[in-house]
Amino acid sequence: MKVLDSVAMKLLPIANAIGQQRHLQAIRNGLISILPLTIVGSFFTIILNLPIPGYTEWVAPYLPALDIPFRFTVGLMSLYASFTIGSNLGASYKLDRITSGFLSMLATILMVVPINLAEGISTTGDAVLAGRYLPIASLGSQGLFGAIIAALVSVEIYHFTKAKNLEIKMPEGVPPVVGESFAALLPTLLVILVFWIPRHFFGFDLNGLLTIAISPLKGFLTGNNLVGGIITQFVICVFWVLGIHGHAVLGPIIRPFWDQAILENAELFQNGMSAFDLPNLFTEQFYQWYAQMGGTGSTLALVVLFMFSRSNYLKQLGRLSILPGIFNINEPMIFGTPIVMNPLLAIPFILVPIANTILVYIVTALDWMPKMMVKPPFSIPAPLGALITSNWNWVACLMVFVCFFVSLAIYYPFFKAFEKLQVAQELETAKEGE
């Protein structure tokens, strides 16, 4: 216990510094803000791939129209993310949120090179006029990291002009909205120059450079690298054991990779790629339905064990935690047991997600089940979540139950040891009461 306390005291300042860093907070909050768009957009992928006999042929004439909600939500996620990230960062500097968001969107769009089209025919059969068009692919998942950089740089330019009083100030009595608009003229010009000149005069492709730079890390964290999947689970669980919110610490760092990975899978699947051939295995959804069933540490199995415990306290805690656990919320278990700073239960809390990660990795590597390609809410119960995100694959659904029983087997001996201590403590307390 003293060792865990010592480690926690050393890591806590680092974790707090990461969790409270304004730029990382803006990235995390900005990506969370676009969840409604990505979740709802993902459901249109589900609608287009319902496992009903004859459904594919029936829906075929409507595919171009049904594809639009997906393209204008998930397909434009970089554009939306740039606004929300910029808005959140601007708010942390007490800048105007709307101006911060618009400047970030402007910078993101300026990094896209328009395509010159001659007259032709669209997918809906309508005539397409000659002109310049923005390729939507540049504003999807592949442009996410460029959008993040654009948002951060744009707001820093805005903040710099504010701090140095480099702005056009209107006389007193002018409405605040008008005054703020004029104050944003100089930062708008600077943002245009900073992002327009390098991209359109010197051919500097920030998105392309970032794609090359982060591809090794992306492949390690979200691709098919088992070591990366194990390390991700290990670090998140260790932070939780030490009483530090693992996802809050790692979220700002790893969430952009998770979001890009699942949305890249979604776009490729929507474009006709088989779910078995998708590039990213270790998405956030993979961990939610298999490695973290019931919440971090895959504690749903422990909840079930608690429900039949000889300890009155554990039995009551299990009954109170079962409903939240089914919907992947396990704070009652983590802090009620507690698992935090508990050397006995910390071991299976860390081992179970790693074991399930390895197991499902092997099954996927053998091509017995596909990878995941849509992003439903994390609160969906695991069997249904796995079924939806794997294009209705029954093996993927079955693996949820296999992982659950593996979790039970690993947790059981540690649970019995902990239960023995808890029962002894309850008997001691009862004797003292008498």
Q: Which residues of the chain have pLDDT under 70?
A: 1-19, 117-130, 173-174, 433-434
Rounded to whole angstroms, the Cα distance separating 245 from 237 reads 9
Q: How many residues does the chain have?
A: 434
Give the pLDDT confidence score for residue 343 in this predicted structure: 86
- Domain-wise residue ranges, the chain: 1-112+131-203, 208-431
Q: What's 128's DSSP letter?
A: E
Give the pLDDT confidence score for residue 16 in this predicted structure: 62
**Angle subtended by helix axes 144-163 and 246-270, to nearest 10:** 130
Work out the angle at residue 294's Cα, subtended by the Cα atoms of residues 288 and 298, and round it to the nearest 5 degrees: 80
DSSP string, 351-376: HHHHHHHHHHHHHHHTTSS-------
Contact 166, 180 (CB under 8 A): no
Peptide bond into 51 cis (omega under 30): no
Q: Collect all residues with Cβ–Cβ distance below 8 Å to 300 and sequence separation of at least 6.
A: 293, 294, 325, 326, 330, 382, 404, 407
Give the pLDDT confidence score for residue 407 in this predicted structure: 96
Give the pLDDT confidence score for residue 413 in this predicted structure: 94
Rounded to whole angstroms, the Cα distance separating 45 from 376 reads 11
Rounded to whole angstroms, the Cα distance separating 280 from 267 reads 12
Contact 300, 326 (CB under 8 A): yes
Cα dihedral 259→30→41→215 (10° resolution): -20
Q: What's 52's DSSP letter?
A: -
Contact 186, 166 (CB under 8 A): yes
Cα dihedral 317→243→408→314 (10° resolution): -20
Q: Counting runs of H as helices and runs of E as strands, what totals does the chain give?
A: 20, 4
Rounded to whole angstroms, the Cα distance separating 292 from 258 reads 15
What three-state secondary structure class fits 338? coil
Q: What's 381's DSSP letter?
A: -
Helix, strand, coil shares of the chain, percent, nearest 5, are: 70, 0, 25
Helix (H) or strand (E) holding 132: strand 131-133
- The pair phi, psi for residue 171, each rounded to 5°, is -60, 160
Rounded to whole angstroms, the Cα distance separating 252 from 23 reads 9
Reading the block at residue 415, the tokens are: 């649970």
Contact 381, 327 (CB under 8 A): yes
Work out the angle at residue 272's Cα, subtended by the Cα atoms of residues 270 and 274, and round it to the nearest 5 degrees: 105
